[in-house]
Amino acid sequence: MTTQDSYVLGRSPAEYERLRRQARMWEPETDRLFDRVGLGPGASCLDAGCGPGETMRLMAERAGPAGRVTGIDVDAPLGAQAVEMLRAAGHRNCSFEAVDVESSADVPGAPFDLVYARLLLLHVGDPVAVLRRLWSLVRPGGHLVVQDYHVLSGAVVPGHDAANEFMRVARETLSLGGCDLEIGLRLPDLCLRAGVGAPDGIDAGVRVGPLPELAHMFEAVYRSVLPRALELGLTTAADSEQWLEDFTRNSGAAHSHTALWSLLIGTWKRKTTEVHA
């Protein structure tokens, strides 16, 4: 997550639970990238924009008692709650710092063996500057791993009126909030512009299935962006209530409609001891 003012999604118990479910949904893809970079016992890890801490848990399980995991986020209450839950589950190697990645504040414990960010760059004002900062926190021999959505890849076929309305409201809300809807596919270019260099590899996570199986994701994100969408005049209270009613009624039986959720694009890069221009 990024600054409180620019974040277009919600900050509520329901939204935090959505973030937890989303993180668990993408867990296999994140684990796959951790395998790629060889994350293992004793590693020092940073989760930038850690949110509710689900990825910190994955890191802690791999790093073990000899490693350490630091989460940073601007949402201090959520981060503190995440670390409390992680420690209660036995992950004593976890800590949290209220740090905005778009500021110049120090990050305790840097540099790290792994610096990781998922669905962070989508919400920052200057992703190149943030990538440059994250790269500066990676120790020589360590890795930077980034995952973000290519929002425009989401689709429902055949066309479905309620699903189309969801995509309109969600995409316009994000776009007017300053989000780059194609940032996932831009990651290699952003890495080059930030001085990170060409990624060592690119990965894509896919969620596709009958619309009824993914309908809960559509509804949860719609509810998350709705307050900002209303502020922006992209829908009305009456229209949004009607959408929720229609989507709940129609999506459950839409077995002939195939839904493709936005692709989650991932990149990883090892920092060598050489200096690259």
Q: Which structure tokens are listed for 201?
A: 């590899």
Q: Is residue 211 part of a domain?
A: yes
Whether residue 1 has pLDDT greater than 80: no
What pLDDT was estimated at residue 142? 98
- Per-residue pLDDT averaged across 45-56, rounded? 96
Tens-place pLDDT, residues 129-150: 999 999 999 999 999 999 999 9
As for how many domains the chain has, the answer is: 1
Domain that holds residue 70: 13-270
Q: Is residue 6 part of a domain?
A: no
Asked whether residue 2 is assigned to any structural domain, the reply reads no
Averaged pLDDT for residues 219-246: 96
pLDDT of residue 2: 42
Q: 7 in a domain, yes or no?
A: no
Beta-carbon contacts of 233 under 8 Å, excluding residues fewer than 6 positions away, are none
Which residue, chain included where needed, has tokens 């360590």? Answer: 142
* Mean pLDDT across the chain: 93
Q: Is residue 5 part of a domain?
A: no
| pLDDT for res 11 | 64
pLDDT in tens, 68-116: 999 999 999 999 999 999 999 999 999 999 999 998 779 999 999 999 9
Q: Does residue 275 sit within a domain?
A: no
SS (HEC) of 12-67: CHHHHHHHHHHHHHCHHHHHHHHHHCCCCCCCEEEEECCCCCHHHHHHHHHHCCCC
Of the candidates 93, 48, 54, the one whose C-alpha atom is nearest the C-alpha of residue 72 is 48
* pLDDT for 12: 73
Each residue's pLDDT tens digit, 5-45? 455 555 678 788 888 899 999 999 999 999 999 999 999 99
CATH value at residue 167: 3.40.50.150
The SS3 call for residue 250 is: helix
